Amino acid sequence: MLNRCIATDAGSFATQYWGRQPLLSPSGSLPRDFSDLLSGPMVDELIAERGVRAPFIRMASHGDLLARDCYLGPAGFGAEMPDQVDSAKVLAQFAAGATIVLQGLHRLWPPLIDFVREMVADIGHPAQANAYITPPTSRGFDPHYDVHDVFVLQVQGEKRWLVHEPVHQDPLTTQPWTDHRAAITERVREDAAIDRVLAPGDSLYLPRGWIHSAEALDNTSIHLTIGVAPLTVLDVVHAVVDTLATVGEFRTSLPMGIDPTDRGSMAAIATKVMAEVTDTVQHRATDISEGSATRLSQRHAQRTRPVAVRPLESLAAAEHAGFHPVEWRRGLVAHVDHHADRVVLRLPDRTITFPALCSPALDALHHGLVADATSLPGLDQDDAAVLIRRLLREAVVIPAKQPEHPTRTSRG
């Protein structure tokens, strides 16, 4: 899905723009259309009929968030939760110039669920989807930067975007724009790096830290933001440090009598510890790199979601495990460990053990084989049906939509 968001090839984007500089991608001679992902009628459906609750909706006006009771309320008998959207209140605020923000649409809206999952597969980093619906001539937020990368997809109407260079390069999640208000105020007085009206089908990529603001023109504007939370070098460092916590010598207390206020003394201690860390990393590089990789994999699993399972469909498929083809649950982070007498499937929340004879079948499914019990390698049909039934119930595989005959596909 990355190719829908950029006017260059993925390789050029990765080397020239990713995390470095903005990329403006006009619709141009090959018109793009994002209305399959969201549209005006879809926004109305979400607000009027889908029971959206906070925090999946916010409203803002002239840089400030509105109080929740301005657009939320109870939903009547049988749905008394007080934080559901009140469509009449939303209408009143929108008519008065407030921007509607629909958050977390990658969890609510099927077209964006699929789109964001494909984006994660293309980019390799967690992603989310928000929508901003701004009435004519209105502005929702003051100039600011985000602590994640953003792809802006203009869906409907036009919006003028002003983009300025960072005042704080590559900000972390603990370094919000509010820490740099004065510097941002000064920066936006300078000429903008980008001053452009986005029309439907246009897109804009902004690395984290780039300052931006946007204002609708003479019509209602709808745009999507696909936010990407990049894994950073510092995240890898944290994973290494967390792995070092398994090494006893780094859990020992510092000597009694130290003076933490003595910067020279503490600097000497820090130098000594850094040398010990370097020595340990050099001598235990494989263990530490593998431990760090496990932690980074677990972190990714916590920040993303595999394709959802359909419980009734999965149980029905389990009833006919010998004949219904299945495929690996896309996006499920798992590791298959082989031992002489067993094979262990390690999932983010549990570990499942199988007989060693299941190894070829598990490997094949994990690497993209779509198969039924007649075509799993290494097992006869009865054993394959037992394995498929177990994997369906454990939500490791799901019923394949297609094909009728086993083929190999990419897990993405």
Q: What is the residue-wise DSSP string for 223-247?
A: EEEEEE----HHHHHHHHHHHHTTS
The closest of 307, 294, 312, 322 to 397, measured between CA atoms, is 307
Whether 211 shows a pLDDT value over 90: the answer reads yes
Average pLDDT over residues 105-133: 95
Whether 339 shows a pLDDT value over 70: the answer reads yes
- Strand order across the beta sheet in which 194-198 lies: 194-198, 159-164, 211-216
Whether 410 shows a pLDDT value over 60: the answer reads no
Residue 77 confidence (pLDDT): 86
pLDDT digits (tens, 9 = 90+) for 9-18: 999 999 999 9
Burial class of 122 by CB neighbour count within 10 A (0 to 12, 13 to 18, 19+): middle
Residue 51 confidence (pLDDT): 87
User: Does 79 or 347 have the greater pLDDT score?
Assistant: 347
- pTM for the model stands at 0.89
Average pLDDT over residues 47-54: 92
Whether 404 shows a pLDDT value over 50: the answer reads no
Residue 411 confidence (pLDDT): 44
Whether 156 shows a pLDDT value over 70: the answer reads yes
Whether 181 shows a pLDDT value over 80: the answer reads yes
Average pLDDT over residues 97-121: 95
The answer to whether the beta carbons of residues 354 and 362 sit under 8 Å apart is: yes
Residue 412 confidence (pLDDT): 39
**CA separation for the pair 315, 293 (Å, rounded):** 34
**CA separation for the pair 112, 46 (Å, rounded):** 13
Residue 79 confidence (pLDDT): 82
Distances (CA, A) of 163 to 66, 166, 200, 214: 25, 9, 19, 9
Looking at residue 292, its amino acid is: S
Confidence band of 247 (pLDDT split at 50, 70, 90): confident
pLDDT digits (tens, 9 = 90+) for 14-44: 999 999 999 999 987 567 899 999 999 999 9
**CA separation for the pair 336, 353 (Å, rounded):** 10
The answer to whether the beta carbons of residues 223 and 159 sit under 8 Å apart is: yes
Give the domains, in start order, of the chain with CATH numbers: 2-228 (2.60.120.650), 233-303 (no CATH), 311-408 (3.90.930.40)
Q: What phi and psi values does residue 53 have, to the nearest 5 degrees?
A: -125, 160
Whether 403 shows a pLDDT value over 70: the answer reads no
Round the average pLDDT of the chain to a whole number and report it: 92
Q: What phi and psi values does residue 395 have, to the nearest 5 degrees?
A: 60, 35
The closest of 155, 164, 302 to 226, measured between CA atoms, is 155
Please report, rounded to a whole number, the percentage of residues in the chain having pLDDT higher than 90. 86
Residue 322 confidence (pLDDT): 74
Q: What angle do CA 154, 159, 163 make, to 5 degrees?
A: 95
